[in-house]
Structure 1
């Protein structure tokens, strides 16, 4: 199958990402300039009702971006938008899934719905506008 044969409803293979450690999340805070202490201070996260420090939304988007770009039928990721619905926490694996919502064979483009889950709870979802790889 090639990109010009992708139809609405096609399901991308799921992938599981091992849980990000609190240290990895803190490192991302440091390099990204996100100095919100909730990402680095477990006691603060606990005080806010979280069991562990939360993963930054931009880091979740980076994982979704990589998932889409690694799909064999994606030539170019043109736009990615995400909505965050529940905190993703440190030390818990993430599952990423995708489904083609719109496919335009004439323009060789598609919109893929991307969903990130943690412990079967939806944590983020969004749409990736892509150019499909040609045969």
Structure 2
């Protein structure tokens, strides 16, 4: 996959206001949190120990924020296969707890074809109670598939 440079702009490029739809992820079970902690080196006991989570005032350990953030790329790739994420920023607003899932939605807030096809999306992840857990913004670029160099 290579970024578009000098190739024709896509004819079906999304317009400002277009939505990506709603996509669910999870529930994030304790076993997933343990595996994520091992591969990410984020072994903060708050995410893994029920007693520590309870001492922090939570009913269960919170899901790692970066684990949930990784779901945004999957949601975007499910929407369009001809893009890649060039920038993603997020604000974590409230925890999602072990055993719960998230629903991701988004809307195109800027769509450019020149000098290169680029999109800016506002994204939201909501917990099981539909309360906003993560607000994010992603910059997406168009890519074309081709032979590897």
Normalising by structure 1, we get a TM-score of 0.90
**Unpaired stretches in structure 1, ≥5 consecutive residues:** none
Which has more strand, going by share of residues? 1
| Aligned-partner Cα distance in 2 for 1:42–1:79 | 34
SS at match of 2:20: strand
Tell me the CA shift for residue 48 of structure 1.
0.6
Match of 1:116 in 2: 125
Cα gap change, 1:43 to 1:36, in 2 (>3 Å): same
Which residue is equivalent to 1:130? Answer: 140
Partner of 1:65, secondary structure, is helix
Residue by residue over 1:21-53, the C-alpha shift from the partner in whole angstroms, topping out at 9 and shown as x without a partner, is 012111111111012100000111011111111
Q: How does 1:1-135 map to 2 (within 5 A)?
A: 4-72=12-80, 74-106=82-114, 107-118=116-127, 119-132=129-142
CA RMSD in angstroms comes to 1.7
Superposition TM-score, scaled by structure 2 size:
0.82
2 CA distance for matches of 1:3 and 1:120? 35
Return 5+ residue gaps in structure 2 as ranges. Answer: 1-9, 145-149
Residues of 1 paired with 2:11 and 2:104: CA distance? Answer: 21
Shift of 1:78: 0.7
Point out 4+ residue stretches in structure 1 off by more than 3 angstroms: 2-5
Question: How many pairs are equivalent?
Answer: 133
Q: Aligned-pair distance for 1:97?
A: 0.4
